[in-house]
Amino acid sequence: MVFVIGRAMILGTKGAIQSVLGNAAGVGVQIVAVSLGVGVLIASSPVMFAVVKTVGSLFLVYLGIEGIRHRKDLRVELDRQTVTSTRKTLLDSSVVGITNAKTLVFFIATLPLFVEPGGVAPAIQMLILGGIFFVIGIASDSVWAVAAGSARDRLIASPQGLERVRLGGGVALVLLGIYLGYYSLSN
């Protein structure tokens, strides 16, 4: 949620929706990996898991710093369609989704709990459960993206308002990255 709101403050509603879809694609990769057993391998390797957590945290900090660095660039705002491509937004957001250590741990801990031993193959059951989470996540995050994007539109009536909104979005992403890095590496 904080990621989507931060992206809405920096990129607007369209960029936030693209971020929701990119993040969902990354989470989808996690769901498939956990369902096929790869997630357990990553989580059981302290080095590999630390790498995933560190990359994810640092990438959020990077995205926040980029938002802060470009907060005064009004030309970027006017030409946003050409400056920040859909492809880049989707790619950046999918990296955030793939490297989200909290969702990886959540899927590893919860998906197997709901597998019915006498039912279809466990991997298929976990894919279905993960798919439900995937759809709910897109719906929920999209609401936040539209709400935050709408709020942003009202707040950027002046160049100073746009600068403050972008600064706030960038700071939110940096703080989220620092928090997740601290939390992940201290546990």
Q: What is the pLDDT of residue 51?
A: 80
To the nearest 10 degrees (0 to 180), the angle between helices 159-186 and 46-69 is 170
Give me the domain span that covers residue 95: 2-186
Highest mean pLDDT among 18-27, 59-68, 82-91: 18-27
Nearest to 172 by CA among 21, 71, 45, 47: 71
Q: What is the pLDDT of residue 77?
A: 54
The answer on pLDDT for 155 being more than 60 is yes
Residues 83-136: pLDDT tens digits? Answer: 568 999 999 999 999 988 888 888 887 888 888 888 888 889 999 999 999 999
The answer on pLDDT for 71 being more than 80 is no
Is pTM beyond 0.85? Reply is: no
The per-residue b/e assignment along 88-104, b for 16 or more CB within 10 angstroms, e otherwise, is ebbebbbbbbbbbbebb
Q: What is the pLDDT of residue 130?
A: 95
Alpha helices in 70-158 (DSSP H): 74-78, 80-83, 86-98, 101-110, 122-155
Mean pLDDT score of the chain: 84
The per-residue b/e assignment along 33-64, b for 16 or more CB within 10 angstroms, e otherwise, is bbbeeebeebbeeeeebeebbbbbbebbbebb
**CB contact at 8 A, 145 and 16:** yes
The residue whose two tokens read 């298929």 is 124
> What six digits make up the tokens of 48?
């590999």
Q: What is the pLDDT of residue 146?
A: 96
Query: Whole-angstrom distance between the N-terminal and C-terminal Cα of the chain?
Result: 22
- DSSP character at residue 170: H
Residues 34-62: pLDDT tens digits? Answer: 999 886 677 677 887 778 778 878 888 88
Q: What is the pLDDT of residue 43?
A: 65
The answer on pLDDT for 9 being more than 80 is yes
- Average pLDDT over every residue of 132-142: 96
% pLDDT > 70, the chain = 91
Where residue 179 falls among pLDDT bands split at 50, 70, 90?
Answer: confident
> What is the tally of structural domains in the chain?
1
Rounded Cα distance, 151 and 165, in Å: 10
The residue whose two tokens read 């989704």 is 97
The residue whose two tokens read 């390797």 is 45
